Amino acid sequence: MEAMPLVDRYAPSPTADLHLGNLRTALAGWLLTRAAGGRWLMRVEDLDEARVRAASGAEARNLADLERLGLHWDGDVVRQSERLDLYRDAVASLPTYECFCTRREIAEAASAPHDGYRAYPGTCRSLTAAEREERRATRPPAIRVDSGGATFAVDDVHAGRVAGLVDDFVLVRGDGAFAYNLAVVVDDVEMGVDHITRGDDLLSSAPRQAWLTQQLGGSPATYAHIGLVVNEEGQRLAKRDGAVTLADLPHLSPGDVLAQLSDSLGLGPARTTEEALAAMPGDQRFFSGAVWREGGLAQP
Ligand code: GLU
């Protein structure tokens, strides 16, 4: 039987304009997908209402920038804000408990942060009904999944097999918003995603998300976590690094930008996405990071 072509997705958060690091990851995902004859889906992760509102128009600019570079996607744009019922149903199907901890309490009780993430030590798991009642009067609870102290391993084409502890992570925030780790998994399962290309800052989230995928009846995807673009101090590229979005770089044509992105992926200065695709070696399965140096992308 022929292997099914893979389904990957790009999932921008419309809380800022895309910078060259985001666009580079998008190009990497597009290339890995197209090289495999797969489908490349587009999902706008717009659940953080306040931040989306503060970055007015970012979604339209994100999508226009991708199109301008020739990073065309398959099917309609999926928006998380239009899928709240799916997230609600998923939460209802999982073992959960209410959590009243403040960030500070978690910071004090948790082990050292891992990639900025602190594993939740389970403080609220065994509250009595009376204790929960009392705490509800002081603050609205977050909803956590009861993971039962699971560990889970994922396969990443770059990093290999990566195992991680699955803590009781948040599914619904105290303000009622569905959490990233929930929505991303519900959507990947529902959209039939089986290959996930994204920045390697999310590698440590993958075991947790793959575990949840399985709890929701899906099959964990294969991952391709792509090295980030960092500045010369080794910090991930951001606004502070100067002209890093297409809007900041009006003197560069889409071809000029693609040439930089493609070159930094080790494919030479291809000026169109099709040219970059043609430059992909047959065994190209992953991409490492890049450095932003003197206003240009360089290989590390
Ligand atoms: N929306 C996330 C971001 O912009 C990406 C999430 C994902 O690809 O899983 O960082």
Decide if pLDDT at 1 tops 60: no
Are 287 and 235 spatial neighbours (Cβ–Cβ below 8 Å)?
Answer: no
Q: Which atom of ligand 1 is nearest to the CA of 205?
A: 9
* 112 and 65 both lie in a single domain: no
pLDDT of residue 119: 86
Decide if pLDDT at 282 tops 80: no
- Determine which of 108-117, 137-146, 193-202, 267-276 has the lowest per-residue pLDDT on average: 108-117
Determine if ligand 1 sits within 6 Å of the CB of residue 186.
no
- Of the residues 114, 136, 139, 239, only one is catalytic, namely 239
pLDDT of residue 110: 58
Whether 77 maps to a domain, the answer reads yes
Whether 78 maps to a domain, the answer reads yes
Last residue of a domain, one of 141, 172, 203: 172
Decide if pLDDT at 68 tops 90: yes
Decide if pLDDT at 227 tops 60: yes
Decide if pLDDT at 20 tops 50: yes
271 alpha carbon to ligand 1 midpoint, in Å? 26
Last residue of a domain, one of 107, 142, 172: 172
pLDDT of residue 299: 80
Decide if pLDDT at 114 tops 60: no
* Total number of domains constituting the chain: 2
Say which CATH number the domain at 20 has. 3.40.50.620
pLDDT digits (tens, 9 = 90+) for 26-42: 999 999 999 999 999 99
pLDDT digits (tens, 9 = 90+) for 200-226: 999 999 999 999 999 999 999 999 999
pLDDT band (50, 70, 90) for residue 184: very high
Mean of all residue pLDDT scores within the chain:
93
* 13 and 65 both lie in a single domain: yes
* 16 and 72 both lie in a single domain: yes
* Conformation bin of residue 146: beta by default, left when phi > 0, alpha when psi is -120 to 50: beta
Q: Which atom of ligand 1 is nearest to the CA of 209?
A: 9
Whether 196 maps to a domain, the answer reads no
8 alpha carbon to ligand 1 midpoint, in Å? 13
Percent of the chain with pLDDT over 70: 95
Whether 193 maps to a domain, the answer reads no
pLDDT of residue 105: 79
Are 61 and 17 spatial neighbours (Cβ–Cβ below 8 Å)?
Answer: yes
Determine if ligand 1 sits within 6 Å of the CB of residue 184.
yes
201 alpha carbon to ligand 1 midpoint, in Å? 10
Decide if pLDDT at 59 tops 80: yes
Average pLDDT of the residues in 107-123: 72
Whether 178 maps to a domain, the answer reads no
Determine if ligand 1 sits within 6 Å of the CB of residue 202.
yes
Whether 76 maps to a domain, the answer reads yes
pLDDT digits (tens, 9 = 90+) for 244-262: 999 999 999 999 999 999 9
Determine if ligand 1 sits within 6 Å of the CB of residue 200.
no
Say which CATH number the domain at 146 has. 3.90.800.10
Its sign, for the CA torsion 144, 149, 152, 158, is: positive
Q: Is 239 a catalytic residue?
A: yes
Specify the higher pLDDT residue, 116 or 83. Answer: 83
pLDDT of residue 281: 84
pLDDT band (50, 70, 90) for residue 152: very high
Among 245, 241, 243, residue whose Cα is nearest residue 232:
241
Whether 47 maps to a domain, the answer reads yes
Determine if ligand 1 sits within 6 Å of the CB of residue 11.
yes
> Which residue puts its alpha carbon closest to atom 6 of ligand 1?
11
Decide if pLDDT at 2 tops 70: no
Among 138, 108, 141, residue whose Cα is nearest residue 125:
141
pLDDT of residue 278: 95
pTM of the model: 0.94
* 23 and 77 both lie in a single domain: yes
Determine if ligand 1 sits within 6 Å of the CB of residue 183.
no
* 78 and 38 both lie in a single domain: yes
Whether 245 maps to a domain, the answer reads yes
Q: Which range marks the domain in which residue 273 is found?
A: 7-82+227-298
